[in-house]
Structure 1
């Protein structure tokens, strides 16, 4: 029987300070999906359930990426009718891993969503892999390990860098700088690629549980996160 992965998308549809549309970032779901589609069973959830908006700017930015365009045109049912996160809490035992897709949206809802934080702690307590890419690791900042300490304590972790945020001109619209907070909560464990937009995927452990923690820095890291998640589930990528 194929392992089951819970995919979490943001429900945020606009940037509060600008009113511009946001959501989850297309290649950061498309590429891991491409890696996992024939190997795992995926269930997609979001805080509000229903239609989880893909960031329109990511559609434009990756219009020449065949993996992203094929996914966009053939897999819409995955995100137009997502489950509510709250419905997943009693079903944690059915899943083998959890994966947070990035985009600017998660910074506004998944960082502090109590249901999401409870899910992460449940996966950590059960020693199940936890993965996130780009801005997705913001969902881990306030999560705790079963012992009560921050989930990221002493972990090596990555996520969208301050340089990258500044280069896309979004730092002032963000509630916090992701790199700065990931480095603070992990106790200096943040790492990144040598150059902005370079691939960086990090496999670490959740404090006190042995649960595998997989993070990717940016869109270029999305495939690698999918590969490492498949490996963590004991499968061949």
Structure 2
């Protein structure tokens, strides 16, 4: 029997079940058992072969998971449970160590988003969250990629009133992009910027919420350490962790 924290509660399932694609040739409860299996994998960080038998055959679950990742289902579930507070949004990133088993994918299999830094193989998760610290979007890059590069993609189309970020994000591209979307920019100016912006320090204090988000995300061991070879399957677990943040 799997622990309660490794399975969906009835209340959580009621929120996500309407987003499920139709069951094709499977009994109606198959989706929930499948999701319990993925939640168990995400929380424990175990190898697929160690999946408890009551949650399904590991290879069947894995093949279905990889197929759904390719279809973008987990991003759709993640977006479907959101009820964001867009008074302000915050961006930041965190590095995740990539286990040696995540390396070695064929180039023809798809992008990996794995880089090499002094700490070894790693992947960087870039995120934007709402005013309450709930995740809105994720982007993966190799670990050596600069934090500011994915920000235009993270912010594209967001109708927020303000953008909070640390000094690493003080670039003309980010500032102009945010202002073009009607956001107040609350980012400390770099010392070499000729015209220093006035910083709303009271509102800037809320930026810790995006850092707290990453701490909660890394409770899921399959997010804290990357075991997946392809970025699409790793991002699937990131979206599952983000979905659980909203469901809590």
**TM score, norm. by length of structure 1:** 0.26
More helix by share: 2
Higher Rg? 2
**TM score, norm. by length of structure 2:** 0.25
